[in-house]
Chain A
Amino acid sequence: MAGWNERVTDLSIASTMTFDDVACAFPASLQEALELMADEKTRGRLLAGGTDLMVQWESGVLAMPERAVSVKALPELRTIEETEADVIIGASVTHMDIRRSPLTQKHVPSLVDAAATIGGFQIQTMGTIGGSVANASPAGDLAPSLMITDGAVVLASVRGEREVPITAFWTGYRKTDMQPDELIVRFRLPKMPEGYREAWRKLGPRQAQAISKVMGSCRGCVEGGVVKSFRVAIGSVAPTCVRLYDVEKWIEGKKLNEGTLAEAEKRTSDSITPIADIRSTAEYRKWVTGRIVRGFLEQFADQ
């Protein structure tokens, strides 16, 4: 909409719409939300906690939509439950809910640690897991911890539900596998097995309220110095959060010593081609990702 003046120098000029012009539906139930999304005439931009979208609309990074559909308050989306194998987290569960829940603390601890590093308390009480995942930013803080569970995103539409493995959900920079009539209803995350551990590390420009330079999570098990299992995912180094399958495969079965740690570090750095941006350089990101993975393995070896 910048239109006539092509080279605006103010981010905020970009839209001729204001927040006041955006219509919004507040469905009372999941079924009502699905029906709204099913029809092109009533469909709108899904709005959860607003912590990403409101900024992107205000700054003009995204054009304001004619219509939004608020799913923040849908009761079906606000619970954290468990089955024998999985933790089930509703899409509108907030980062603060994740931090406070004994279920997540016990079964997906790195997700809890990651949630604690998002923004400040206020963002954590507003932002939701579904919104964060749908926003599809490579710097989305929850992504690595979700990826290492090998869990699934559950999508729903009037056509029914389907599960997409989290590792396949982000298809490119800010792109997802969602269809226009779908919304994320919950996440099914396999629990951390007995004897396994998780770890989380985020490097940002400062200690809080930071978008990461690099971040990562891992889940694994080291017995007698030998890596029995290791899954690791890294964010902010590629168009999407990435699992480092080659490194995982290589280290599994190996005894941890200076030689294998150094090789894992090198293989990690070699496996990514990050970019430079305002937060960091490509060279540092490449190097420090290897260091983070090394740190994870050292941590597990110390146990």
Chain B
Amino acid sequence: MNKVKRTWQINGEEHQTEIPPVRRFLDVLREDLGLKGTKEGCGEGECGACTVIVNGEAVLSCMLPAGQVPENAEVTTVEGLEKTPGGRLLQAAYAEKGAAQCGFCIPGMIVSSYAMLSRDPSADPARIREAHAGNICRCTGYEKIVEAIQSAAEQWPAGTKG
């Protein structure tokens, strides 16, 4: 059989899988593991709705062959954010500032925010914009998203990964 075995820590839980190696990681998350929070907006790496974090880096699950997600990788999807202080902070800020409208880009957007702030809890709007240029939103004009991230950055728990 054309399958590889991988064990991953997804949102803090261990998942053992056996998957076709070039199956899109997005399909593994949504269809095989039932984690439907992650969205597909374009299927070609342009919109960022499928963004997840693998070992600390934001990646696009629609163009990531699942077999390339390393053994024992730590994976964070939108469903995992509420398990972390930083994630909860971001969720509250997104809700309060009106950063979500239709909400379809939000799982990818807020995961990008979490990846960025975990590495660089900067409230500088220029850096926030650059770190989110790979996440397309058609509703908000991005203003309230940037506001929300700034607000979360200002309260980001110091010295933690969030």
Chains A and B touch (C-beta atoms under 8 A apart): yes
Q: Is B33 in the interface zone, CB < 8 Å from A? A: no
**For the complex, what is the distance from the CA of A26 to the CA of B44, rounded to whole Å?**
23
Q: Which residues of B contact A22 (CB under 8 A)?
A: 2, 20-22
**For the complex, what is the distance from the CA of A121 to the CA of B135, rounded to whole Å?**
9
**For the complex, what is the distance from the CA of A50 to the CA of B70, rounded to whole Å?**
15
Q: Is B37 in the interface zone, CB < 8 Å from A? A: no
Interface string of A111-134 (1 = CB under 8 A from B): 000000001111101100000000
**Known: A119-B45, A125-B57. Is A209-B63 also a contact (CB below 8 A)?**
no
B68-A72 in contact (CB<8A):
yes
Interface string of A40-81 (1 = CB under 8 A from B): 000000010011001100110000000010101100000000
**For the complex, what is the distance from the CA of A123 to the CA of B58, rounded to whole Å?**
9
**For the complex, what is the distance from the CA of A118 to the CA of B43, rounded to whole Å?**
18
With a 10 A CB-CB cut-off, give which of B64, B131, B136 has the most chain A CB atoms: B64
Q: Is A207 in the interface zone, CB < 8 Å from B? A: yes
Q: CB < 8 Å: which of A54, A59, A122 contacts B58?
A: A122
A126-B22 in contact (CB<8A):
no
Interface string of B63-97 (1 = CB under 8 A from A): 11101101000000000000000000000000000
**Known: A54-B63, A122-B45, A122-B58. Is A208-B21 also a contact (CB below 8 A)?**
no
Near B by CB (< 8 A), chain A positions 276-300 give: none
Q: Is A21 in the interface zone, CB < 8 Å from B? A: yes
**For the complex, what is the distance from the CA of A58 to the CA of B63, rounded to whole Å?**
9
**For the complex, what is the distance from the CA of A283 to the CA of B133, rounded to whole Å?**
30
Least Cβ distance of A172 to chain B in Å? 25
Sort chain A's interface into a size bin.
Answer: 20 to 34
**For the complex, what is the distance from the CA of A209 to the CA of B133, rounded to whole Å?**
7
Q: CB < 8 Å: which of B22, B24, B59, B67 contacts A125?
A: B59
**For the complex, what is the distance from the CA of A26 to the CA of B22, rounded to whole Å?**
11
Name B58's closest neighbour in chain A (CB-CB). A122
**Known: A24-B22, A73-B70, A96-B57. Is A50-B64 also a contact (CB below 8 A)?**
yes
Q: Which residues of A contact B57 (CB under 8 A)?
A: 96, 125
Least Cβ distance of B139 to chain A in Å? 17
With a 10 A CB-CB cut-off, give which of B20, B131, B133 has the most chain A CB atoms: B133
**Known: A58-B43, A96-B57. Is A26-B64 also a contact (CB below 8 A)?**
no
Q: CB < 8 Å: which of B62, B68, B112, B116 contacts A73?
A: B68
B20-A19 in contact (CB<8A):
yes
B21-A26 in contact (CB<8A):
yes
Q: Which residues of A contact B48 (CB under 8 A)?
A: 120, 122
**Known: A120-B48, A121-B134. Is A51-B65 also a contact (CB below 8 A)?**
no
**For the complex, what is the distance from the CA of A30 to the CA of B112, rounded to whole Å?**
32
**For the complex, what is the distance from the CA of A111 to the CA of B65, rounded to whole Å?**
27
Q: Is B38 in the interface zone, CB < 8 Å from A? A: no
Q: Which residues of B contact A73 (CB under 8 A)?
A: 68, 70
**For the complex, what is the distance from the CA of A23 to the CA of B19, rounded to whole Å?**
11
A23-B64 in contact (CB<8A):
no
**Known: A23-B2, A51-B45, A119-B45. Is A126-B64 also a contact (CB below 8 A)?**
yes
Q: Which A residues are closer than 8 A to B by beta carbons?
A: 19-24, 26, 47, 50-51, 54-55, 58-59, 68, 70, 72-73, 96, 119-123, 125-126, 207-209
A-B contact pairs, 25 of them (CB 8 A): A19-B20, A19-B65, A20-B2, A23-B21, A24-B65, A24-B67, A26-B21, A26-B67, A26-B68, A51-B60, A54-B63, A55-B63, A70-B65, A70-B67, A96-B57, A120-B132, A120-B134, A120-B135, A121-B115, A121-B131, A122-B51, A125-B59, A209-B133, A209-B134, A209-B136
